[in-house]
Amino acid sequence: MTKTKKGSPLLPLLEDKVVVVSGVGPGLGRSIAVRCALAGADVVLAARTEARLQEVAAEVEALGRRALCIPTDIADETSARHLAETAVAEFGRVDTLVNNAFAMTPMTDLADADFAKIRSSMETNVLAALRLTNLFTPALVASCGSVVMINSAVLRHSRRPYGAYKMTKSALLSVAQSLSTELGPQGVRVNTVAPGYIWADTLKAYFAHLAKQRGVEPQVIYDETAADVDLRKLPEPDEIADAVVFLASDLARAITGQCLDVNGGEFHH
């Protein structure tokens, strides 16, 4: 269905570095962890579901790198603090924190917004990422490390009914930019990756649902969607993860406070 070049072994851009990834699941979180391992990093895996962490850990270890699974609810301060303390105690250092965890907001117009649900999403999407960054800051300062925030192409449009989600992701971008200014003098870089469509299981299931409603093949939905993307293909998780690897690496040593859009050219920024 796509013309992508499959993810190949990476240069050892992160050799012997330690990368913490929050929100590890079967899609982008998994790809970030595995692509960091391919680039030479040991990986700390954080998510609420331990079984999912173990599956990704097995992939990391099969590549010859160490993986540490720490079941974590990043919205809970005690749990987040345990993650930071355990990661540093186990590896003695942390070089990059990838804030990938997120909570989807209700998909309604802002006029119909459920404020309680928006607050809950804001807690995970913004405040939890800030809390985790603050907890890891001493280790990141010691390693002259970096933070990568995973954002969304929702930053680039105001389509209905994404208003509440855009609120949280716009706030996360502001946090990343302010942290860049605050932590830069201490040698810590803070950047953002903003994916567009991600061609993984969730989107595939959604396209299959749309195709069934219209009585067409999923390829039709894919082609119609990709027609608005310059590269005429939807980015896959590994392609977005490679942008994270780049920003975590020394190749990006002079890059901070930036938002890198990885959307195949759907939006230009």
Query: Phi then psi for 119, rounded to 5 degrees?
Result: -60, -40
Amino acid of residue 41 = A
Contact present, 66 and 40 (Cβ < 8 Å): no
Whether 162 is catalytic: no
Instruction: Give the residue ranges of DSSP H helices in 92-162.
Output: 115-122, 128-143
Per the DSSP assignment, residues forming a β-bridge with 260 are 193
Query: How many other CB atoms are there within 10 angstroms of residue 123's CB atom?
Result: 16
Q: 128-143 and 163-183 are packed helices; what angle lies between their axes, rounded to 10 degrees? A: 30
Cα(42)–Cα(45) distance, integer angstroms: 10
Contact present, 238 and 9 (Cβ < 8 Å): no
Catalytic residue among 162, 165, 197, 222: 165
Q: Which residues are catalytic?
A: 165
